[in-house]
Every structure is written in C-alpha cells, then in structure tokens.
Amino acid sequence: MEIVTLPEIENPDEILKTAYRIGMLIRSTEKVKRGLGTIRQDINVSIEGGERVEIKGVQKLEWIPRLAENEAIRQIELLDLKKQLLEREVREEDFSYEYRDVSEIFASTKCKIIKNRKKEERVLSVRLPKFAGLLGKEVQPGKSFGKEIAERVMVITGLKGIIHSDEKLDKYNISMEENSQLRSLLALEEMDSYAIVIGDENKAEKALDNVVNRAKGALKGVLRETRRALENGNSEFLRELHGGARLYPDTDTPPLVIEKERVESIRKNLPEYPWVVQKRLAKKYKINELFAEELMASGKMELFVEIVKELKIDPTIVAVSLLQTMKALDREGIQTDEISQEKIKEIFKSLSEGKIAKEAVEEVLRVLGKSPSITVEDALKELRLETITTEKLERIIDEILDESSDFIEKSGERAFSPMMGKVMEKVRGNIDGKVVAEILRKKLEQRLEG
C-alpha cells in the first residue's frame, strides 16, 4: 500500500511529524508488518526556482530532516551554479560531444588508476567550457558538483567515476606536465575545465556523454531526478525522474470493488487514534507522555504493559529501560533489536524476584546485545551477579567504613559520596542503590555521633 500526501509540507520538521503520524496510524490498525524494510518513506523536495526531486529509500524516520535540509541546500547551490554559468555567458551550444583519446599523454604516468587499466581500456577526455572552479563547488555537505557527476557516471555506466581538473591532481599522481599537455591537446582556455574517464571505448564514450549532459544540465539549475537516501543525510543519483505520462493502470488486473457495507463495518471497528491511547496509558501508568509516545512509536507499548502488569515493576523504570537505556546501547553499536521480548521479560522477572538490582538491567541488556544466542541466566553468570542480602550489605559497608575511619573523621558528612562510590563498586547491579544509600547513611551517622 502506498500513502501519498499533498505538497503542503513546508519544512523538514513537518515532514518528520507527518511521516511519524502516518506510521502511528497504520500501526494502530495492527494490519501491517513491523521491522526494518517493511515501511519505507520516499520524500519529495523542491524549493522556489528548483524542481521536484524524489529521495527514495528513507529507512529511518530520524534521517528525514537532514535529508530534506541537505536537498534544499543542494538545490540552492545548483541554482547558484546556474547563475555563475550565465554570468560567464555559457551556452548549450558551447558544449561538444567530441572526445579526445589522451592515452598517449599518460604512457609513462605514475597515476595508478590510469597505469593499472586493462589493455583494452582507453583514457578519454572532454572540454567543459568555462567550468573552471565550478566542478569543485560544494553542492551537498562534503560533496562537490564533480563528485555528483561522478556518481551519475558510476550508476549509469558501472565505471569507477571521473577525474576532473578542479581536483587536486597530485593526489592521483598526475604531473604538472601531463596536465599541461592535456590542456594543450584539448585547446582549453583559462576558464575551461576538463574531465577524464577510463574504460573500454563504448563505456568511456557513454560516460563522457553523461558528463557533458549533466554539465549542460547545470544551465537549467535543478534537474528532476530520483536520488537514493544516504545515512549521512546526503543523497546520490539513482535515475531521471519521469513525468506522470509513464504511469498507467495495470490492464492485466481487474478492478477490486469494495462494497459500501464493508467500508462501514470497518469504520465502526476502527481502533482508537494512537495519540488518544498514549495519553490514556500515560495517565494510567503515571509516566511521562513523551515516554508513552515513544513506546507507541517503537512498538514496545504492549511489552511495557505486560511487564508492568505481570511483574509489578515501577512503570518509569520499565519505560526508561526500554527506551533510553536501549537507545544508549544502540549508540554504542550494540544490537538491542536482536534481544527477544521473552528475554527482556526474563530480565525484569529477575529484577522483580530480587535476583538483580535495577542498575544491573543495562549490563544484562549489554551482554545479551553482544551475544544474542545466550540465555539471561548465562548473562547473569557472565556478570557474576548474585543476590546480596541486607545482612551481607551491612557487612560490606562496615568493612569499607572501618578501612576509611580516618577519612570519615576528617570529612564528616562530606564522606557520604566517596563512601557510596566505594560501596557501589562492590555491589553495583546486585542490590538497589536506594537501599545502599539508606543503610550507608544510617551507619555513617551512627559513627559520626558515636
């Protein structure tokens, strides 16, 4: 199923909110699959004076604002490129599809890309009129117009890209002499630029066709095209964007008629809006509404309710663990998606039975994220977690206070924090920090009074 919005969204944050709300609505029906790849967003971006550019394959909602912003930047820069070309009085007829074989110039080159080419491959070059300095113009963060052309060449021809005169040629080990000979052979003027491709004759010529076409297209500003979303917020060429004329109904499949009675029946049984549900659950479990919203969006609300209801654990502790703790672990590169819901429930069962303290939940999740095949029991053994009774805790605290008696005498009440740190080093994960603080404070007060 494809859902399309009207072109009424005005900024990157609105795109994110719209995509999020659509996702919440369709998930609330419980009639869709979940997981990476089951839902995909394509976004269309245009600015005043630009063109519609479709960015496909946006796999994660958090990518959207940066992708939209970087595409707006790209279109602004392409319009500026057009302006500079017009100021230089570049015309479409100035471009030529006459390519020169410059292989002889590089007969003794130190440039590895050219030197290591296959025997049948040639080095072809083309003049780009009055393009000096413009191929190196940044059109996306960290990406030049020349790089954008190179990506187009790679997608269409399969060649590795291009070399152009705005690059630092010494990084390719192209000498000043080779550059000079090349410019002379192409009869370049001071403001002209050039591009080089390496490949068999057909592919190399096709590549330069695309170089010239894209350079010529810069006179139009922004071209209509489909681009692939990249995780860093940039995008790369995928294909040209065609008009609606190429879209037509599937003539092999007859129309599916949906009866009005069925529509009305579905309408009467629609689920509550997810934002209504999250407010109700936030109130019921006395958690922050943002937590409720995130639990709904992440699909963890059902798990949250099960844990809280069955195991009688503080809802805030469960919400923080399922959201903030697991996000922090994801940022560390730990695959929390690999931890099954059954194992997560087992962790909280260990917490409810007093086998671990709430501080240990993160460590157990970390171990399971690194080794998804092991059991929760194995993770507890690996962490050497054991239940610490109140009596054992008191003995540990007494030992630490005895060892630090001189420090306690000098520091008085200020000794609490350092002593808390020492105790937690020995018991962290095995007993609740609040219990530790309560007993430690009581014992410390007794010693100071005595």
- Identify the residue with better confidence: 358 or 263: 263
What is the average pLDDT across 93-122?
94
Query: Is the same domain home to 211 and 295?
Result: no
What is the average pLDDT across 372-391?
75
* Confidence label for 133 from pLDDT (cuts 50, 70 and 90): very high
What is the average pLDDT across 112-120?
92
Q: Residue 355 and residue 375: Cα distance in Å, rounded? A: 15
**CATH code assigned at 164:** 3.30.1360.30
Among candidate residues 179, 199, 221, the one where a domain is terminated: 221
Query: Is the same domain home to 309 and 422?
Result: no
Total domains in the fold of the chain: 3
pLDDT given at position 32: 80
Contact 76, 68 (CB under 8 A): no
Query: Is the same domain home to 327 and 352?
Result: yes
Q: Is residue 66 part of a domain?
A: no
* pLDDT tens sequence across 81-102: 999 999 999 999 999 999 999 9
* Confidence label for 25 from pLDDT (cuts 50, 70 and 90): confident
Q: Is residue 105 part of a domain?
A: yes
- Identify the residue with better confidence: 75 or 119: 75
pLDDT given at position 421: 80
* Residue 293, domain extent: 274-382
Contact 28, 274 (CB under 8 A): yes
Query: Is the same domain home to 196 and 101?
Result: yes
Provide the CA 444 distance to its chain's centre, in angstroms: 49
Q: Residue 205 and residue 98: Cα distance in Å, rounded? A: 9
Range of 52-56, 237-241, 255-259 with top mean pLDDT: 52-56
Among candidate residues 382, 405, 428, the one where a domain is terminated: 382
Query: Is the same domain home to 314 and 396?
Result: no
Q: Is residue 266 part of a domain?
A: no
Contact 298, 331 (CB under 8 A): no
Q: Is residue 352 part of a domain?
A: yes
* pLDDT tens sequence across 342-359: 999 999 998 888 777 777
Residue 35 above 70 pLDDT?
A: no
Residue 429 above 60 pLDDT?
A: no
Least confident window among 130-134, 161-165, 226-230, 362-366 = 362-366
Query: Is the same domain home to 372 and 425?
Result: no
Residue 5 corresponds to which tokens in the numbers above? Answer: 């919005």
What is the average pLDDT across 133-145?
95
Residue 433 above 80 pLDDT?
A: no
Q: Is residue 49 part of a domain?
A: no
Q: Is residue 239 part of a domain?
A: no
Residue 447 above 80 pLDDT?
A: no
pLDDT given at position 356: 79
pLDDT given at position 396: 77
Residue 245 above 90 pLDDT?
A: no
Query: Is the same domain home to 136 and 196?
Result: yes
Residue 110 above 60 pLDDT?
A: yes
Query: Is the same domain home to 318 and 439?
Result: no
Least confident window among 153-157, 287-291, 372-376, 378-382 = 378-382
* pLDDT tens sequence across 183-230: 999 999 999 999 999 999 999 999 999 999 999 999 999 999 999 999
* pLDDT tens sequence across 156-195: 999 989 999 999 999 999 999 999 999 999 999 999 999 9
Average predicted confidence (pLDDT) for the chain: 88
Query: Is the same domain home to 378 and 395?
Result: no
Q: Is residue 52 part of a domain?
A: no
Question: By three-state DSSP, how is residue 235 classified?
Answer: strand
Query: Is the same domain home to 110 and 150?
Result: yes
Q: Is residue 84 part of a domain?
A: no
**% the chain with pLDDT above 90:** 54
pLDDT given at position 78: 97
Among candidate residues 382, 409, 441, the one where a domain is terminated: 382
Query: Is the same domain home to 199 and 299?
Result: no
Q: Residue 98 and residue 135: Cα distance in Å, rounded? A: 20
- List, in order, residues 6 or more apart from 21 with CB less than 8 Å away: none
* pLDDT tens sequence across 284-319: 999 988 888 888 877 788 899 999 999 999 999 999
Q: Residue 364 and residue 420: Cα distance in Å, rounded? A: 23
Query: Is the same domain home to 361 and 418?
Result: no
* pLDDT tens sequence across 388-424: 566 767 777 788 888 888 888 778 888 888 888 887 7
Q: Residue 162 and residue 153: Cα distance in Å, rounded? A: 8
Range of 9-13, 33-37, 226-230 with top mean pLDDT: 226-230
